[in-house]
Chain A
Amino acid sequence: MSALFEFLLRQGDNTLVLGHRTSEWCGTAPALEEDIALANTALDLIGQTQLWLGYAAQVEDKGRSANDLAFLRDVYDFKNVLMLETPNHDFGRTIMRQFLFDAFQVHWLTALTDSKDSHISEIAIKSVKEAKYHLERSRDTVIALGDGTEKSNVIMQSALEYLWPYAREIMSDDAVDEEIASLEIAPLPSTIHESWLQIVEPTMRDACLKIPDSNFVHNGGKTGLRHTEHLGHMLATMQVLQRSYPGVTW
């Protein structure tokens, strides 16, 4: 598997898995405005997935399409970070997960707009516009709920504590990242950490939330080595149609 293909799968699987998770809220969000916002965010993420996995399929050049990559791969072929496959649990955790991802994604996609690979830079220019207003909403909502009632503060604090050990996997480097960086296709993900913190820390302060002390990071999603048990359940739902009726179209 080429480093470029692997890199593209990581980008596309992140947006696919978070997009699918977010779409699970459709019709059941706590308020109409939030229902619409979640559905639209999911839609943007799935749209970005089509671009990333479409390019991945083209780079792989084995006759697979973006749809094949999304619906016909199994758990250990997925390269999304673990945080994005964690269950929604409640609205607080969903929005905290979105914020921790958006704060990375805005800086990351901005960096990718300078990629030596012109197709990646085009996808990044398109996607970063969407990531910016996702961040605007997720940051405002995290602050509103953290600095809301006593109960909403407790929920947001527990969401932050649950997600914190997962949040920085996306900024850990491995051999694929090194190779991609040496080709000037993308910077090392770890170089985003500082600017990520510059969004996360003030937001948590405004939200009256305390960032956990721990530096422990759960790894294994982006390499595909060790996914959580949740991804298999999610894929069972997401892929059911293609698994039950292979090749079905409408």
Chain B
Amino acid sequence: MVAVTKLSTQEVWALLDKVPDPEIPVISVVDLGVIRDVQWNGNTLNVTITPTYSGCPAMSVIALDIKTELAKNGLENVHLKTQIAPAWTTDWLSAKGRAKLEEYGIAPPQVSGGPQRCPNCKSAHVKKISQFGSTPCKAQWQCVDCLEPFDYFKCI
């Protein structure tokens, strides 16, 4: 019998917070809110993830990155479970994640359905270019004052 040093679930959450979102690398998969649960079941670590958009191609990359990061820390026996209910919502983005998004140039989601301000010059004078953007989770907007086009993280 080889003794397995078990990390606490809190330590696992901290490790997962180092895994970047493959499409928006400034935020972690924890910031994104896709990690729903971390539980030990005997010597197996169960990690529950929820997809952002049902067809999001980043999900398989996220799953691989999570396994890789955990394996680097000696956690080989990891079971990833995908769960669709409750459905992912932008409300699950962490406050840290929202601040990092804006710093990176992506306007964070707002309940009003549009960006609060331009991430570049902070003007509230913005207009929508397209409902869809560079990834399924984003729309294209533009600042009317500084003219900067920017991504807006859609609110769902």
Contacts and interface: CB of A to CB of B under 8 A. Distances in A.
Interface in A37-75: 37, 40-48, 50-51
B53 A43 contact: yes
A47 B133 contact: no
Given A50-B54, A137-B132, A129 B156 contact: yes
B110 to A, nearest CB: 15
A126 B131 contact: no
B85 interface: yes
B119 interface: no
A89 to B, nearest CB: 22
A130 B53 contact: yes
A137 B132 CA distance: 9
A133 B53 contact: no
B55 A133 contact: no
Interface residues of A, number: 27
Contact of B136 (A44, A118, A125): A44
A201 interface: no
Interface residues of B, number: 21
A197 interface: no
Given A45-B55, A47-B53, A40 B136 contact: yes
Contacts of B131: 37, 133, 136-137, 140
Contacts of A51: 54, 84
B140 interface: yes
A127 interface: yes
Interface string A130-156: 100100110010000000000000000
Interface string B103-130: 0000000000000000000000000011
B53 A36 contact: no
B85 A37 contact: no
Contact of B54 (A37, A48, A137, A140): A48
30 contacts: A34-B130, A36-B130, A36-B132, A36-B133, A37-B130, A37-B132, A41-B132, A42-B55, A43-B53, A43-B57, A44-B54, A47-B51, A47-B53, A47-B55, A48-B54, A48-B55, A50-B55, A51-B54, A51-B84, A122-B84, A122-B87, A123-B84, A125-B85, A125-B87, A126-B54, A126-B84, A127-B54, A133-B154, A136-B131, A137-B131
